[in-house]
Structures are given as structure tokens and as C-alpha cells.
Homo-oligomer: A and B are copies of this chain.
């Protein structure tokens, strides 16, 4: 029987500032990537997000990023050594593990955020910093990456539990990379089409590029967004399409380590 995980970035609110449709998303997804207080989130929000995840049977992952609340972790910050970035990731992983422990929960995966992720996808040294951080704190955490990226390569090299994700709303180039948002057709905007597309990818064990090329890939998780009502609608559509096609939705750690 086929199965896949549905993941989304949650817990990005801060103090009085609310962002994202977390409550809605918790009913749709099976794994939550929880912001760790650097690009978004704070201790109260982390506690609340973990609690919601537990109540909904959703697995939780560390989702650390640049220490850049103003830029929401989406600005490239250039000047830190990979060793320094590794330490800032260690800090964030530890922080969310502490929060999970206080709730008698466990963090089970790890996915880096935003601009730092984009940079590490392309740069082996940064990718290695990201992989080393998690290996040194908890090598059992699933390392969620883009297939074909430097993150995937170093994850394999260090013997991490690498999981691969596709984006429900993005088109892919022939080499498996995301089509730039600046190009036509980069975004899948139709919710029904996004759902059908994901079913096809899972059933075929391959992505289809924007040019129609077949790119074989092990898909462990599908990333959906919850930052707008439209995004939530697409996430729901993807979920329903998967279920209708008999594909089970399971938290990432059950996907990776089926019992």
C-alpha cells in the first residue's frame, strides 16, 4: 500500500503577531515543521504549536532559520562561517527539543528554513553545516531535503535518515530543480491540478518536469503551505486527492520507519 507524508511550516507567529492558518493546517497535514524562534516563533508559540500537533496526531520537526525576524528568514545573510551557522542551528534544535521534552513529546525531523535552505541547497559547505548540526545533537532526526540538492548529498554522506520532499505548488525543471518563480508556469495554482499531480508523482515514483520529462525520485513527503486561505484550500485538495487515490497519509517518521 502506498503512503506519503504531508508537511507544512507552522508556528511562525511571534508575540501578538499571528501568521499562518495553523489550526486549519493541523487537520490536513501529518508533519509540522516548527519555527524555532529565530526567523519566527517564540517559546509560547512553540509550546502551543507542539501541543496542537500532539492533539492532531501530527509529527513535529525542528525548522530553524537565520536569526532574522524582520526578514522572516527569507533574506540571504552572508558573512557567517559554516561553523557559526552550524552552532546557530544546534541552538535552535536544542531549544525545540527542550520544549518537546517539557511536553513529553519528541522531535522527529529537521528541515531548514527559507534563505538558509536555499543557500545550503547550492553550497556544499553550508549543507554540511546543516547536516553536522543535526548529527551532533540527535542523529536519529529525519533530515528532510530537496531531492538533488547539496543537502541530500551531505545527508547521505553523513549517514543521516534522509527524507525527500516535493512541493505541491511548484513546477520542476528537467534536472529536478524548482522552476524559478520568475518563469511562467513556475507555480501550480489550480488546487485540483496540484492534487492530481501529487497522486501521479507518488504512483509513478517520479516527478514530471515542466517539459514533460520523467524524473525518478523517492518521495517521502509533500510540502504544502498554510499562509493564506487559498494555500489552505490547495493543501486540502492535495490531501483529498491522495486519500481518494488510496494513498495513506502518515507522519514522516512512520513513513521512514514503518513498523
Kindly name the residue among A17, A90, A94 whose own CB sees the greatest number of chain B CB atoms within 10 A: A94
Cα distance A91–B91 in the bound complex, in angstroms: 10
Residues of B within 8 A of A43 (CB): 84, 87-88, 90-91
Contact A94/B87 with A14-B17, A71-B80 known, Cβ cut-off 8 Å: no
Contact A98/B102 with A16-B72, A70-B67, A77-B71 known, Cβ cut-off 8 Å: no
State whether A87 touches B46 (Cβ < 8 A).
yes
Q: A75 on the interface (CB 8 Å rule)?
A: yes
Residues of B within 8 A of A75 (CB): 77-80
Quick one: closest B residue to A91, CB to CB?
Answer: B43
Contact A91/B101 with A14-B70, A44-B84, A78-B75 known, Cβ cut-off 8 Å: no
Residues of B within 8 A of A101 (CB): 94, 136-138
Residues of B within 8 A of A256 (CB): none
Kindly name the residue among A13, A74, A137, A138 whose own CB sees the greatest number of chain B CB atoms within 10 A: A137
What is the CB-to-nearest-CB distance from A11 to chain B, in angstroms, rounded to a whole number?
Answer: 13
Cα distance A101–B107 in the bound complex, in angstroms: 15
Q: A153 on the interface (CB 8 Å rule)?
A: no
Q: A99 on the interface (CB 8 Å rule)?
A: yes
Further contacts, 6 of them, CB under 8 A, given A71-B80, A94-B101, A98-B98: A43-B90, A68-B77, A69-B69, A76-B76, A76-B78, A98-B137
Chosen A-B contacts, 12 in total, with CB atoms closer than 8 Å, are A16-B72, A37-B91, A46-B91, A71-B80, A74-B79, A76-B76, A76-B78, A79-B115, A93-B98, A94-B95, A102-B133, A102-B136
6 closest A-B pairs by beta carbon, nearest first, are A94-B98, A75-B79, A17-B17, A102-B136, A43-B87, A43-B91
